[in-house]
Amino acid sequence: MLAKRIIPCLDVKDGMTVKGINFVNFRDAGDPVELGKQYSEQGADELVFLDITASHEGRKTFTEMVTKVAANLNIPFTVGGGINELSDVERLLNAGADKISVNSAAIRRPNLINEIAENFGNQVCVVAIDADYIHNEWICYLNGGRIPTDKKLFSWAKEAENRGAGEILFTSMKHDGVKTGYANEALHTLSVSLSIPVIASGGAGAKEHFRDAFIEGKADAALAASVFHFEEIKISELKAYLKGEGISVRY
């Protein structure tokens, strides 16, 4: 069995790492360059850096910050936010990113996924999906959870895979920041219906939640933010716990 990955996520707004609840009410969580370096040293398997207001404000992700973060890492590094065309992807890869995460732009223009995969390889393209469970179905949202769309989670994830996505990063908006566990039923459905890795996001509050995402949700990786930023859970202790639960993790 492939080792499960633990991925801290740095949501960056105005140059600082922030963390909110249900995609709003953000508070400062520190300098992204310093946090990224700490996580790399503490045993994180990968890092995700999201410029969370880039799409909403029509900005480009800060290339300079990506360069600084990448210079302090020795683990894979995914960047997202405001990526709308191939030149954005090329610029960020040149700045040191290993993978690119697309969300709103891919929903608006799905062929962007094909273009990234064809030009840079499937492994570079992570399709992030923010979805909320409304009227008994999972609805995908644009612009950091601000705008509902007509796309449904499972069909859109399958389309993304078919177009060349290398991974799906699924965030349950209802679970985001509330620390009651991941959306494991939806994760399970995604994991068994796709042949590419699924990253769980939204809801981590305890070590058991990571275990459940891997066992019940069958996720390949689990992403979290505030429990790491505010040192509620240490990565080394989390990995030791997961190993004790029979889950394969990297040391």
Catalytic residues: 11, 130
How would you label 115-141 residue by residue, b for 16+ Cβ within 10 Å and e otherwise? bbbeebebebbbbbbbbbbeeeebbbb
Angle at 72 between CA 33 and CA 80, to 5 degrees: 55
Q: Under a CB-based contact definition with an 8 Å cutoff, are residues 160 and 111 in contact?
A: no
Position 180, amino acid: T
Q: Under a CB-based contact definition with an 8 Å cutoff, are residues 144 and 107 in contact?
A: no
